[in-house]
Amino acid sequence: MRKPIQFIIILLKHALTGSRMYFAWISFLALVFAIGVCAYVVQYQNGLVVTNMTDQVSWGAYIANFTFLVGLAAAGVMVVIPAYLYKNKPLKKVVWIGEFLAIAAVLMCIMFVTVDLGHADRMWHLIPFIGKLNWPMSILSWDIIVLSGYLVINVFLITYAMYSKYHGGHPRKGLYVPIVFISMFWAVSIHTVTAFLYDWLGARPFWNSALVPPRFLASAFVAGPAFLVLSLQIIDKNSGFSVPKEAINNLRRIMAVMMVVNLFFFSSEIFTELYTGSGHAASAIYLLGGLEGRHLLVPYIWSAVALNIFAAFVFSIPKFALNRTLLNVACVAAFIGVWIEKGMGLVIPGFIPSPLGEMAEYQPSVIEGLVSAGIWAFGILAFTLSVKVGAEIERGSLHAEGVVPDLDEYATDAEPHSSPPVAHDVAATPKIAVAQGAEVSS
């Protein structure tokens, strides 16, 4: 018990050390989070009346962010599957980053659900065996179970892997690998069950489509890799951990395919909605061109479509994708485009018009914006701190006393500026000599 506690203390100490730029970044995130907390206090004291949600539009920015982040959490599997199922070595070196992203995303999901409840003390109703979870009849209960399970699985995997490497060892394959494969199927389940939350609401025809679950997964497998591509470059430049170039190229190829699939699913749904000309197409008509003089969401959805088409164009053409600046712009475009499509472009139009034909438009209030920004800041802060210590353990600079890291494990094809020290035959060299700084010939 003593060793794990010491391990946690050491991680916290190293997470809070770094350059001025690093401290400026985490201080900025902490400030945004504090502003979000203050905004939530206002909401807690006054109730959800401070938001722009109404009886007609009861899901707003909070559930839109929740839906998007479930996909971001599931997208971590796009690193795990090639790494372990297809033995992709470049992606295997950055699996730990995908797992940290999954944990941060699930934490944000929980926070968005909490603030959407109005009062955080109502969360106890969702706790199995304590509250009234209504399992297995409620789809929401299934969503809570799969999200909680995914969080536990990823926390175990990354903690076990980091703890083993910190002490100079490796996770036992008999224990670690089976749980990795479980996490692959679990990642798909969390976004599928979330899609079922929309699918089963018969009074909302805009969501009643068999394409909703696969469309959720396709868009998630674009936004997640896009975030990872941007993060990997920052990590490679600032952490000392060498990210293989091929890892970024592999993620780009995944995005090229999944963005085209996502756009195809979107166009298929729109065709099905509009061609029939039934009254059930009212929400789609409102989203795409406005209805009865109301057109608040039209600029959102067409901006998302333009961003996604641009991203698909860049990802699919190697000549453009090899331009790192253009690739980064395309990743930002894809991330924002998918967020709009799965947020304002999916959640909100499902409520407009209401089953009674009411046209009540919705746009997030300032309070909702500040609370949402605070939660995002918390998640990015958690991801930043985790990656900081994870990079030190992975590159071998942070390890238990007396442990000689296997430098060959950290060697990659990254740029020279971030290359690890040249590996020596440490196995044939006494550990005492290495610990005392004796020179080892290669």
Does some domain include residue 12?
Answer: no
**Contact (CB, 8 A) for 374 and 39:** yes
User: Positive or negative, the Cα torsion across 293, 294, 300, 301?
Assistant: negative
Q: What was the pLDDT predicted at 433?
A: 37
**Contact (CB, 8 A) for 35 and 383:** no
| Digit-coded pLDDT (tens) for 208-264 | 888 899 999 999 999 999 999 999 999 999 888 899 999 999 999 999 999 999 999
Q: Report percent pLDDT > 70 for the chain.
A: 90
pTM greater than 0.95 = no
Q: What was the pLDDT predicted at 162?
A: 92
Reference 93, options 250, 238, 242; nearest CA is 242
Does some domain include residue 13?
Answer: no
Q: b/e map of 207-229 (b: 16 or more CB within 10 Å)?
A: bebebbbbbbbbbbbbbbbbbbb
Does some domain include residue 178?
Answer: yes
Q: Mean pLDDT, the chain, as a whole number? A: 86
**Which backbone phi and psi does 348 adopt, to 5 degrees?**
-65, -50
Does some domain include residue 439?
Answer: no
| Residues β-bridged to residue 291 | 294
Alpha helices in 167-211 (DSSP H): 173-199
| Digit-coded pLDDT (tens) for 310-358 | 999 999 998 998 899 999 999 999 999 999 998 889 999 999 998 888 8
Burial (CB < 10 A; 0-12, 13-18, 19+), residue 172, is exposed
Please calculate the CA angle 108-110-114 and round it to the nearest 5 degrees: 115
* Angstrom distance (rounded) from CA 35 to CA 29: 10
Does residue 244 sit in helix, strand or coil? coil
Does some domain include residue 206?
Answer: yes
Which secondary-structure segment (H or E) carries 266? helix 245-276
Confidence of residue 1 (pLDDT cuts 50, 70, 90): low
pLDDT at 431 over 90: no
Alpha helices in 200-238 (DSSP H): 212-238
Q: 136 or 231: whose pLDDT is higher?
A: 231
| Residues β-bridged to residue 294 | 291
pLDDT at 438 over 80: no
pLDDT at 404 over 60: yes
Q: Which residue has the tokens 């990802």?
A: 315
Q: What was the pLDDT predicted at 424?
A: 40
| Digit-coded pLDDT (tens) for 145-170 | 899 899 999 999 999 999 999 888 88
Range of the domain at 146: 19-433
What tokens were used for 283?
Answer: 């929400």
**Which backbone phi and psi does 291 adopt, to 5 degrees?**
-150, 130
* Angstrom distance (rounded) from CA 32 to CA 232: 23
Does some domain include residue 10?
Answer: no
Q: How many helices (H) and strands (E) does the chain have?
A: 16, 0
* Angstrom distance (rounded) from CA 322 to CA 215: 28
Does some domain include residue 389?
Answer: yes
* Angstrom distance (rounded) from CA 187 to CA 75: 8
| Digit-coded pLDDT (tens) for 273-319 | 888 777 788 999 999 998 988 999 999 999 999 999 999 999 999 89
Does residue 364 sit in helix, strand or coil? coil
Reference 223, options 315, 300, 298, 135; nearest CA is 315
| Count of structural domains within the chain | 1
| Digit-coded pLDDT (tens) for 183-213 | 988 988 898 999 998 988 888 889 988 889 9
**Contact (CB, 8 A) for 73 and 190:** yes
Does some domain include residue 3?
Answer: no
**What mean pLDDT comes out for the span 15-39?**
95
Q: 50 or 126: whose pLDDT is higher?
A: 50
CA end-to-end distance (rounded Å), the chain: 39
As a whole number of Å, the CA-based R_g of the chain is 23
> Measured between alpha carbons, how far is residue 139 from residues 77, 115, 197, 266 in Å?
23, 20, 6, 24
* Angstrom distance (rounded) from CA 113 to CA 118: 9
User: Positive or negative, the Cα torsion across 51, 56, 61, 63?
Assistant: positive
**Contact (CB, 8 A) for 74 and 101:** no
Q: Report percent pLDDT > 90 for the chain.
A: 56
Q: How far is CA 187 from the centre of its chain?
A: 11
Reference 386, options 235, 185, 242, 248; nearest CA is 235
